[in-house]
Structure 1
Amino acid sequence: MTVDPSLPTGVHADEPHAGDLSARLNWLRAGVLGANDGIVSVASLVVGVAGATTSSAALLTAGVTGLVGGAISMGLGEYVSVSSQSDSQRALIAKERAELSEQPEAELEELAGLYQQRGLSPGTARLVAEELTERDALAAHLEVELGLTEDSVVSPWAAAGASALAFTLGALLPLMAMLLAPEDLRVVVTATVVIMALALTGYASAVIGGSPRLRPTARVVLGGALALAATYAVGSLLGTSGLV
């Protein structure tokens, strides 16, 4: 374990004692999901179209409309989801603040009881509750009762913007690969770029999240490869059938 001398005794720099792990994982989730969705959805779209036609205009139209529509959809979905979460968090914080104002002694007893449930003796639990209440009663109750801090309330606009941006950046990779590659190598080049990009995002998410590297990386790569294969097969069938 790495020990930072600037931290309190016994605190390791590589462990999430700062209390921002949940927020970090939320940003990670939005960013990785947005990028992966952009890569896979737009890649599948242009590869499917490439299976049916070699027209650059058709590929460009499909790719750009998929990118714009997907980014808006991703951002809107994230905004709605995070807005609900944020509203719930703010309501809980307001409720806790009102209870502390209206019945401070009952709240102190509740806090001491919660620490007893965590294994402290009644006397120690009462002492801890009193000291934390004197320092910041609201913060103490939010942390112990709800696992929240006032600063951890998520921003719907920030989450939506991050998700839409990640989707756009991810979508640009297969779109540019498809349009810039030689006509006879478009699908191969695009598939290669997509697999490499998915491996990178899967690996990055594992590193940031502190999980094993192989499984999440393989999961993302295999899912993307299956999507490409399926859409290319559909596009090829439509192209050879004469329906398009």
Structure 2
Amino acid sequence: MENSVLMQMIVPLAIIGAAQLVVSIVLIVILRKLLLGDTMNAIGRLKSAEEDLGRKEADLQQKLDEHETEFARKQAEAEDNLQRQREASEQDLAKLKERMVADARGQADKIVSEAQLGKDKIREQLVREMNEKAVEFAGELFRLVISQTVTESLNAAFVNELIEALEEVDETSIHVEAAEAEFGSSHPLMPEQKKKLEELLARKFDVNVAIEEKVRPELLAGLTIRLGSLEIDASLLNRYREGVGEMKKAV
């Protein structure tokens, strides 16, 4: 009987213990599922965050690479532009230097040329003065050495020579327009010489003038005629000038 009572007491206790055990197990399973679910969710979120972070890092790295590539390209382009500008500046500087050297050389050549021209002009002036002095000296020597009678005869010969030369002129080859005429003679012309010259001028050049010569002893012998643009110098002084010129050519 005691055993029966004891059994009656133990069975409920066992049932209660078993129920408690089952409840505990259920609670543990539920808690485990809850904890495991939270952990998995957390792990999933962590993995998602890591993946998102990885993508962002990859995007950031890609952008950094792109920026570095673009920076390198722009840097190379800037260096290339700078090099071209430097080369262009050097070329411009070289051209400027060449122009300056050419201008300086041109100025130097111009100065030398002007100096040479001035030298040539001075030489020509000296030669002209020497020629004039030679002619003057010859004239003075002529007047000192040759008598008046001889100079008169020589003058007549020069005038007659001019008349003969005018006789041979082809009047169709020369056209003279002269409103007036000028005559110079080393000695007064003889009447027959004046008349002959007036006839020749009228016939050869269609110029009707009365000869009124101006006596110019410096001509030494002969005479000069000016009809408009036509000038005839048949004087001994002019012969001296021509002779000096020929002697200069020979030298």
TM-score in terms of structure 1 length: 0.27
* Structure with bigger gyration radius: 2
If asked which structure has higher relative contact order (CA below 8 Å, sep 6+), I would say 1
Larger relative strand fraction: 2
TM-score in terms of structure 2 length: 0.27
